[in-house]
């Protein structure tokens, strides 16, 4: 690990533990329980002053390597509020990565710059309402259309689970043209993008929740298309592996903290004449947490090293996303169990981490979809090795 990454990670950890953790009891939450933008901006101004805002992107605009990013984002995740405070949160982090890679200088100046400065939140519009037959696990089912009209594209459709759409200033919208999938950068809010509904969900760390949105004759200037028409799924792939890996990094940090809280509880609480940690049933749960945390960390580091070679890392990120999200679910569940009744209350972040990780097993590809695509690869490889 490089000296610069160690230094940034240490400063992020100190900031999150000393400054962000006290905000966990701040009641400025919206009606879905997510932190309000006013509180986010307050934490960000402190992060800016401490020199830890957007810590994975360097002042010259270059990005830390994925292996370096891993230790920084893990530290940012030590509080569910940490990634918001230091601007390493989804979907902004993945959107910044994509724009940094594929955006023209004009698009970067207009849309990326305010995001890196922590002044603009963004949303990624791909999924569509399930019961209308739209894109979900299978993005090729996309129904939202875009048609060229003069020097504007006209977009129509409905989107679902669009994290942070409410309150975002930048949107990356996916739609289908005759040429294939396209991606557009749009300013938000726009009267042609209407938030229809923000459902109550199991998680609540992401401002704006996960909105269902109607896109009704949205006109986007042609120069706000990202890259080329028909290449949208290619750009989605570029975003996908690092974005799903960064979820692993942040939630690993949160589970590390949940484990610390459960460990503290088990070392203070007595039952049947001895400390909980001295009961084998509890001690073993904490030991299993240690093992899962280390295995998840190594898997993240391995996948990051593959991405750092320039590979898309599709197979490796699928394997890592499954292994890490499932391991983190086990850890969060054990932390709740070790803490008894206290584990299901909002006295600590343990119950929130448990809820958030449950959702993580679905977004950025449900476990079964990753296993299914790995099984397809296994079959392909077998066929290649056995041509007759």
Ligand X SMILES: Cc1cc2nc3c(=O)[nH]c(=O)nc-3n(C[C@H](O)[C@H](O)[C@H](O)COP(=O)(O)OP(=O)(O)OC[C@H]3O[C@@H](n4cnc5c(N)ncnc54)[C@H](O)[C@@H]3O)c2cc1C
Helix axes 314-338, 350-360, angle to 10 degrees: 150
Q: Which of residues 210-249 bind ligand X (CB under 6 A)?
A: 210
If the CB atoms of residues 23 and 125 are measured against ligand X, the closer one turns out to be 125
CB of 154 to ligand X, least distance (A): 20
Out of 177, 192, 362, 374, the residue judged to bind ligand X by CB under 6 A: 362
* Rounded Cα gap, residues 69 and 115, in angstroms: 18
DSSP assignment, residue 327?
H
What does the DSSP assignment read for 107-160? HIIIIIHHHHTT---EEEE----GGGT-SSS-GGG---EEEEETTEEEEEEEEE
If the CB atoms of residues 5 and 182 are measured against ligand X, the closer one turns out to be 182
- Closest-CA residue to 18 (of 75, 89, 87, 92): 75
* Rounded Cα gap, residues 37 and 47, in angstroms: 15
Chain-centre distance of CA 314, in angstroms? 17
For 17, residues 6+ apart whose C-beta sits below 8 A from its C-beta are: 78, 79
Sole residue written with tokens 């809820």:
355
Out of 87, 95, 127, 204, the residue judged to bind ligand X by CB under 6 A: 127
Number of residues that bind ligand X (CB under 6 A): 21
CB of 324 to ligand X, least distance (A): 17
For residue 366, state whether it binds ligand X (rule: CB under 6 A). yes
If the CB atoms of residues 239 and 257 are measured against ligand X, the closer one turns out to be 239
For residue 368, state whether it binds ligand X (rule: CB under 6 A). yes
Q: Pattern of binders to ligand X over 157-196, x per CB under 6 A?
A: ----xxx---------------------------------
39: exposed, middle or buried (Cβ count in 10 Å: 0-12, 13-18, 19+): buried
For residue 91, state whether it binds ligand X (rule: CB under 6 A). yes
CB of 107 to ligand X, least distance (A): 20
Element spanning 168, H or E: none
* Rounded Cα gap, residues 45 and 42, in angstroms: 5
Backbone angles phi, psi at 358, to 5 degrees: -60, -40
Q: Which stretch binds ligand X (CB under 6 A): 9-17, 332-340, 358-366, 376-384?
A: 358-366
For residue 256, state whether it binds ligand X (rule: CB under 6 A). no
CB of 131 to ligand X, least distance (A): 9
Cβ atoms 163, 206 nearer than 8 A: yes
Out of 70, 276, 363, 370, the residue judged to bind ligand X by CB under 6 A: 363
Out of 13, 102, 166, 203, the residue judged to bind ligand X by CB under 6 A: 203
For 81, residues 6+ apart whose C-beta sits below 8 A from its C-beta are: 20, 23, 24, 35, 43, 205
Out of 41, 45, 137, 237, the residue judged to bind ligand X by CB under 6 A: 137
CB of 357 to ligand X, least distance (A): 11
For residue 23, state whether it binds ligand X (rule: CB under 6 A). no
For residue 130, state whether it binds ligand X (rule: CB under 6 A). yes
Out of 61, 340, 372, 380, the residue judged to bind ligand X by CB under 6 A: 372
For residue 136, state whether it binds ligand X (rule: CB under 6 A). yes
If the CB atoms of residues 13 and 92 are measured against ligand X, the closer one turns out to be 92
Q: Which two tokens stand for residue 105?
A: 């200088």
CB of 354 to ligand X, least distance (A): 14
For residue 359, state whether it binds ligand X (rule: CB under 6 A). yes
Q: Which of residues 266-325 bind ligand X (CB under 6 A)?
A: none
Element spanning 103, H or E: none
Q: How many CB atoms lie within 10 A of CB 192?
A: 16
CB of 56 to ligand X, least distance (A): 20
Rounded to whole angstroms, the maximal C-alpha distance in the chain is: 79
Q: Which stretch binds ligand X (CB under 6 A): 176-184, 240-248, 310-318, 355-363?
A: 355-363
Q: Which residues bind ligand X (CB under 6 A)?
A: 91, 124-127, 130, 136-137, 161-163, 201, 203, 210, 359, 362-363, 366, 368-369, 372
């Amino acid at each position: 690990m490089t000296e610069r990454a160690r230094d940034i990670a240490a400063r992020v950890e100190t900031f999150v533990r000393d400054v962000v953790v006290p905000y966990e009891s701040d009641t400025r939450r919206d009606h879905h329980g997510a932190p309000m933008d006013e509180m986010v901006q307050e934490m960000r101004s402190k992060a800016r002053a401490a020199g830890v805002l957007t810590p994975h992107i360097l002042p010259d605009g270059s990005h830390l390597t994925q292996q370096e990013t891993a230790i920084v984002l893990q530290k940012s995740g030590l509080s569910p509020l940490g990634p918001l405070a230091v601007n390493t949160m989804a979907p902004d982090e993945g959107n910044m990565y994509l724009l940094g890679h594929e955006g023209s200088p004009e698009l970067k100046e207009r849309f990326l710059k305010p995001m890196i400065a922590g002044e603009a939140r963004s949303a990624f519009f791909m999924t569509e309402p399930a019961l209308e037959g739209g894109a979900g696990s299978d993005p090729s089912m996309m129904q939202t259309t875009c048609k060229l009209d003069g020097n504007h594209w006209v977009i129509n459709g409905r989107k679902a689970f669009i994290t942070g759409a409410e309150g975002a200033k930048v949107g990356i919208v996916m739609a289908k043209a005759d040429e294939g999938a396209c991606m557009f950068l749009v300013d938000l809010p726009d009267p042609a993008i209407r938030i229809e509904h923000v459902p109550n969900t199991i998680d609540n760390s992401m401002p704006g929740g996960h909105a269902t949105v109607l896109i009704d004759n949205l006109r986007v200037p042609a120069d706000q298309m990202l890259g080329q028409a028909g290449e949208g799924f290619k750009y989605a792939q570029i975003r996908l592996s690092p974005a799903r890996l960064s979820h692993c990094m942040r939630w690993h940090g949160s589970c590390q903290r949940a484990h610390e809280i459960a460990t503290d509880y088990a070392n203070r609480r007595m039952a049947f004449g001895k400390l909980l940690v001295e009961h084998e049933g509890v001690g073993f749960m904490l030991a299993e947490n240690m093992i899962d945390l280390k295995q998840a960390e190594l898997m993240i580091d391995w996948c990051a090293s593959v991405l750092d070679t320039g590979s898309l890392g599709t197979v490796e990120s699928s394997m890592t996303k499954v292994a890490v999200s499932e391991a983190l679910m086990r850890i969060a569940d054990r932390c709740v169990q070790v803490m008894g009744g206290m584990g299901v209350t909002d006295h600590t972040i343990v119950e929130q981490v448990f809820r958030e990780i449950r959702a993580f097993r679905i977004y950025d590809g449900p476990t079964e979809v990753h296993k299914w695509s790995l099984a397809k690869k296994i079959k392909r490889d077998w066929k290649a090795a056995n041509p007759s």
